[in-house]
Amino acid sequence: MTHGLRFGKSSGRTAVGARPAAVLAAAVAGVLVLTAGCTGPDGSGSSRDGRNFRPGADGVGDPYFPTYGNGGYDVANYGLKVRYDPADDKLSGTATITATATQDLSRFNLDLVGLKVDKVVVDGARSDYRHDDGELVITPKRGLARDDRFTVEVEYNGVPGPINSPDLGEGGFMATEDGAIALGQPESASTWFPVNDHPEDKASYDIAVTVPQELSALSNGVPGERSTDGGWTTWRWSERTPMASYLTTLVIGNYRVETGTHEGKPLVTAVAASLPEGGPAERSLDRTGEISDFLATQFGPYPFESYGGIALSDRRIGYALETQSRPVYGPAFFTSGPNDTVVAHELAHQWFGDSVSVRRWSDLWLNEGFATYAEWLWTEHDGGMTAQQSFDRAYQATDWSKPALDPGRSALFGRPVYQRGALAVHALRLTVGDEAFFRVLKTWTAEKRNGTVVTADLLTVAERVSGRTLRPLFDAWLSGTTAPPPPPPAS
């Protein structure tokens, strides 16, 4: 789904653009087809109505992850129907993807890891496809003209598994004792459905998950009708606000699910049944509404149509993730009592990361810096250290030799991204003063809502709203290699 500013994708960042040799090949194929009037032998191009249909790129061009996502189209909606049987770990699914071509397309890719594809239908017609190395390459019967809306239906099945990334750890689908969990950043979605797997292409989702009736199946967004048939229950979820693919989740198992409302919107929390009733996980998740309301006073209106949280018991999940509208928390956060800081962190991501998303993974500090800063704000609000005290402490502990912006792929989730990111946010506050600072935050979340951004966009908004030159500040706090002097509080 395209929203507002988008420089990245439509600026001709295609496979052919990325590979000079392929440009030539495609051009040659194009000429051949013009005369021959048929598709090139490799399906690389065809022409019709004076158009030159070319393959979409096999990645969006993210320097850290060149094969993430794909080029040539823009997904508006994923309609997912999946069935999972914990008895044999098998998943079968149908994905109905509604998209718009952003170029004349002879073929295009979806990301899908480790599952077997049985059938692909594009606009009602069976299509040829090839599936290897996590790329599902689809060649529709007819080329898809730029700006045309089209529908892809993919039937698939298999035993899903996680993706192992050497420097970033595991992500994706994982069978558990009582069910399964699909979760992970920067990628995870492609382990359970075919997807344009990059935050640049956000879309709405309608998810139906069928599981044995004694289990729960949680996902993102507003809960729909639940129906049971022959011992299987279908749980329905719908996220109508554009969502980046890594923010999708699927959690199947024995959970205590509570459905209520908050601010007139559904609030769904789920706590693993093996965690103590009324215990620290439950008590922390119970503060979801209260913490969201506080953050809304700082950042602007809550950006989604539902609220919630999911607390896991599987100890292999050592992190929490800001899955849209319903963050997922690993059990370690709640072993020594309630932990509202992690809830504040994940809920802050609903504004910073989920509603306003990074267009390139190198800018992840825009998510983690603000989410960490939200911990400082919440702690102060809750009667703990002031944000200034948190700043002073983090300042002392920081290794300034490593940048927060563009930290390198293997340091994507390193301390600088989180801590230096938060320090930079507070330095901005000290420089422009509280009044301008909170206006910057609220302008940012309002103007960039449902969009994707890079750091330069924040600089532009912060300079415009505050009326100051802030480039040197951004450079020093995000990228400099020595400790910048803390700015004196603005007068």
Given the rule CB under 6 A, which residues bind ligand TRP? 171, 184-185, 319-322, 345-346, 368, 371, 413
Rounded to a whole number of angstroms, the minimum distance from the CB of residue 10 to Zn ion is 29
413/438 with CB nearer ligand TRP: 413
> What number of other Cβ atoms are within 10 A of residue 59's Cβ?
21
Q: Which residue has the tokens 């920067």?
A: 186
DSSP letters, 381-436, are: HTTSS-HHHHHHHHHHH--TTS-SSS--GGGTTSHIIIIIHHHHHHHHHHHH-HHH
48/402 with CB nearer ligand TRP: 402
Rounded to a whole number of angstroms, the minimum distance from the CB of residue 487 to ligand TRP is 26
Distance linking the first and last C-alpha atoms of the chain: 42
DSSP letters, 17-50, are: HH-HHHHHHHHHHHHHHHHH-S--TTS--EEETT
Residue 321 interface partner, choices ligand TRP, Zn ion, none, CB cut-off 5-8 Å depending on type: ligand TRP
Residue 171 interface partner, choices ligand TRP, Zn ion, none, CB cut-off 5-8 Å depending on type: ligand TRP
319/400 with CB nearer ligand TRP: 319
- Per-residue tokens: 332: 């370690």
Q: How many residues does the chain have?
A: 491
Instruction: Report helix, strand or coil for 76.
Output: strand
Contact in structure between 171 and 183 (CB atoms under 8 Å): yes
Residues that bind Zn ion (CB under 5 A): 368, 371
Rounded to a whole number of angstroms, the minimum distance from the CB of residue 431 to Zn ion is 24
Rounded Cα–Cα distance for residues 116 and 319 (Å): 29
Residue 185 interface partner, choices ligand TRP, Zn ion, none, CB cut-off 5-8 Å depending on type: ligand TRP
106/323 with CB nearer Zn ion: 323
Residue 360 interface partner, choices ligand TRP, Zn ion, none, CB cut-off 5-8 Å depending on type: none
Inter-axis angle of helices 365-381 and 340-351, nearest 10: 130
Rounded to a whole number of angstroms, the minimum distance from the CB of residue 321 to ligand TRP is 4
208/342 with CB nearer ligand TRP: 342
Rounded to a whole number of angstroms, the minimum distance from the CB of residue 341 to ligand TRP is 11
| Residues whose CB falls within 8 Å of the CB of residue 41, separated by 6 or more in sequence, listed in order | none
Rounded to a whole number of angstroms, the minimum distance from the CB of residue 208 to Zn ion is 29
239/322 with CB nearer ligand TRP: 322
Residue 320 interface partner, choices Zn ion, ligand TRP, none, CB cut-off 5-8 Å depending on type: ligand TRP
